[in-house]
Amino acid sequence: MRSAEVLVASPGRNFVTLRVMTEDGVVGLGDATLNGRELAVASYLTDHVVPLLLGRDAHRIEDTWQFLYRGAYWRRGPVTMAAIAAVDVALWDIKAKVAGLPLYQLLGGASRTGVMAYGHASGRDVPELLDSIRAQQAEGFRSIRVQTSVPGIDKVYGVAAQPSTSGRYDYEPAQRAPLPAEEDWDTSAYLRHVPGVFEAVRNEFGPALPLLHDAHHRLTPIQAARLGRALEPYDLFWLEDCTPGENQDALRLVRQHTTTPLAIGEVFTTVWDYQTLVREQLFDYVRSSVTHAGGVTALRRIVDYAAQYQIKSGFHGPTDISPVGMAAALHLDLAVHNFGIQEYMQHSAATDEVFRQTFTWADGHLHPGEEPGIGVTYDDDAAAHHPYQAAYLPFNRLKDGTVHDW
Ligand code: GCO
Ligand code: MG
C-alpha cells in the first residue's frame, strides 16, 4: 500500500472513512464510524494502523486481518474492531476493483435478486405512528420497525421528535453538543404500553406486514420473556436487543418463554460474542454490522457459523453506518445463503453528496449495483464543507436518578 488516509467529516452526522491506495493507484474505502466515539477510532487508525499498512501487499486481506487482530495483542472491542473493519473493507474494495467485479461476485456471487430492507416508523401517539408507517410504505418499505412513545416518559429511544409524514425517516440519537443528553426510562410503563400499540398497528395494517421492534438493551431476562410472550399475538418479525448483549446466557430464559423471534448483536464485535447464542440456538437474527464486527472477512464467518443452526442475518444499518459500511453489507447480503433482512435508514442529502453511491432501491429491496468494488466514491470537495462536530449518544436515568441502559 502506498498510502492510507483517515478522513473525518460531518455531513449531517460524523463519519470516519479510511482511504487506502495501492502502489498501482487503486483506491479502496472502508468505514470506521463509531457513533459518539469517532475520534478514538480515527486515532487508532492514524497512530497505530496506518504506519503498519504502508508497504504491505494490499491483496493479502486475510493475513492483514490476522496481523491487525492478533498482532495488537489487545483484542476485540469496538474501537479496535471498527479500525480493522475499515482496513478489511478497503482491501476488499481494492481486490474487487482489480478483478473488475462488484464485491459480491468475489463472495460467491448473488444468492438472490435483491436485499429485503426494513424501514423505521415511530410516533408520539398511535395516530402519529400509523401515519409514520404509511409514510415508510410510500417510501417503498415492505417491512417496518415500530417504535413508540410511552406515557410518562419524556424521550424514548427510537422516537423521532417530529416524525416525517413524507420522505426520508430522520432519527439520529447522537446530538451535536458538548455533553450527552439525558433521557428517562420506566420499564413498567413501557411493558404496559407496547402490546396495545402493536395491537393497534395490526388492526390497521393487517396480519401480513412484517413488523420489527427494538427494546434497546433495557429489560431483564424475565421482563424480556414477558414482553416476547405479550407480543406473540402480533407476530413480530423480530424483537431486538431485549436484554443487554454482554450476558449471552440471558436469552436462555427468554427463549424458554416465548416464540417471538429474537435479534441481537449490533454492539457485538467478534464471533466470540455469539458463541453461546449460536451454539444453543438462543436467537434468530445476527445484528452485527460490517463496520463494527471486523469487516467483511469477520462478519462472513459469523453468518457462516450461524447458518449451521438456521440463524439468519439482519445486519445493523442505521445512519451511523456510513454509505461505505452499508455498501459492504449489501454485497454480503446478496451473497450469503442465510440472509434474513437488512436494516436501512436512508442517509441525508449532504451525506450522499460526500459518498457517491451505486446502490439501487426498488420495491422494498436494495441492490449494491454492478460497479467494480463496493460501489462508493468519496468526494473530498463536498466533505471539506462538513468538518467534524463533537456529538454524543444520550444516556438514560430512571425516575430515582439511577443510570440505566440506553
Ligand atoms: C438500530 C440501533 C441504532 C443505535 C445506534 C447507536 O437498531 O438501528 O439500535 O438505532 O441506537 O446505532 O449509534
Ligand atoms: Mg438496535
Q: For ligand 1, is residue 183 a contact (CB within 6 Å)?
A: no
Answer yes or no: are the C-beta atoms of 224 and 256 closer than 8 Å.
no
Strand partners, 3: 21
Mean pLDDT of the chain: 97
Read off the pLDDT of residues 232-253 as tens digits, 9 standing for 90 and up: 999 999 999 999 999 999 999 9
Q: CA–CA separation, 156 vs 352, rounded Å?
A: 28
How many angstroms separate the alpha carbon of residue 217 from the centre of ligand 2? 8
Read off the pLDDT of residues 13-51 as tens digits, 9 standing for 90 and up: 999 999 999 999 999 999 999 999 999 999 999 999 999
Q: CA–CA separation, 93 vs 210, rounded Å?
A: 33
Residue nearest to atom 3 of ligand 1 (CA): 318
Residue 157 a catalytic site member: yes
Residue nearest to atom 10 of ligand 1 (CA): 318
Q: Where are the domains of the chain?
A: 3-101, 106-372
For ligand 2, an ion, list residues with CB under 5 A. 214, 266
Give the pLDDT confidence score for residue 165 in this predicted structure: 67
Percent of the chain with pLDDT over 70: 99
One fold for both 3-101 and 106-372? no
Read off the pTM.
Answer: 0.97
- For residue 163, pLDDT beyond 70: no
The CATH architecture of the domain made up of 3-101 is 2-Layer Sandwich (3.30)
- For residue 382, pLDDT beyond 90: yes
Q: For ligand 1, is residue 322 a contact (CB within 6 Å)?
A: no
Give the pLDDT confidence score for residue 171 in this predicted structure: 87
Report which DSSP code applies to 373: B
Answer yes or no: are the C-beta atoms of 143 and 341 closer than 8 Å.
yes
Helix (H, G, I), strand (E, B) or coil at 148: strand
Read off the pLDDT of residues 216-237 as tens digits, 9 standing for 90 and up: 999 999 999 999 999 999 999 9
Read off the pLDDT of residues 118-149 as tens digits, 9 standing for 90 and up: 999 999 999 999 999 999 999 999 999 999 99
Give the pLDDT confidence score for residue 162 in this predicted structure: 74
Question: Which ligand does the CA of 122 lie closest to?
Answer: 1
Q: What is the mean pLDDT of residues 159-173?
A: 81
- For residue 164, pLDDT beyond 70: no
Question: Which ligand does the CA of 345 lie closest to?
Answer: 1
Best residue for ligand 1 mutational test, from 316, 326, 347 (most atoms within 8 Å of Cβ): 316
How many angstroms separate the alpha carbon of residue 16 from the centre of ligand 2? 20
Q: Is 2.30.42.10 the CATH classification of the domain at 106-372?
A: no
b/e sequence 150-179, b meaning 16+ C-beta within 10 Å = beebeebbbbbeebeeeeebbbbbbeeeee
User: What is the layout of strands, in order, in the sheet containing 395-398?
Assistant: 182-185, 395-398, 403-404
Give the pLDDT confidence score for residue 201 in this predicted structure: 98
- For residue 166, pLDDT beyond 80: no
61 versus 167: which is more confidently predicted? 61
Atom index in ligand 1 nearest the CA of residue 343 equals 8
Residue 216 a catalytic site member: yes
Residue nearest to atom 13 of ligand 1 (CA): 35
How many angstroms separate the alpha carbon of residue 405 from the centre of ligand 2? 13
Catalytic site residue from 44, 69, 157, 344: 157
Read off the pLDDT of residues 338-364 as tens digits, 9 standing for 90 and up: 999 999 999 999 999 999 999 999 999
Atom index in ligand 1 nearest the CA of residue 317 equals 8
Best residue for ligand 1 mutational test, from 33, 34, 144, 214 (most atoms within 8 Å of Cβ): 214
Q: For ligand 1, is residue 318 a contact (CB within 6 Å)?
A: yes
Q: What is the DSSP code string of 332-365?
A: HHHH-TTEEEEE--PPPHHHHHHEEE--EEETTE
Task: Looking at 75-232, list the stretches that DSSP marks H as alpha helix, in order from N- to C-terminal side.
Answer: 78-99, 103-106, 126-138, 187-205, 221-231
Q: In the structure grid, which three cell numbers stand for residue 81, read together?
A: 474492531
191: amino acid identity, one letter: L
CA atoms within 13 A on the CB side of 69: 22
Q: What is the mean pLDDT of residues 96-112?
A: 98
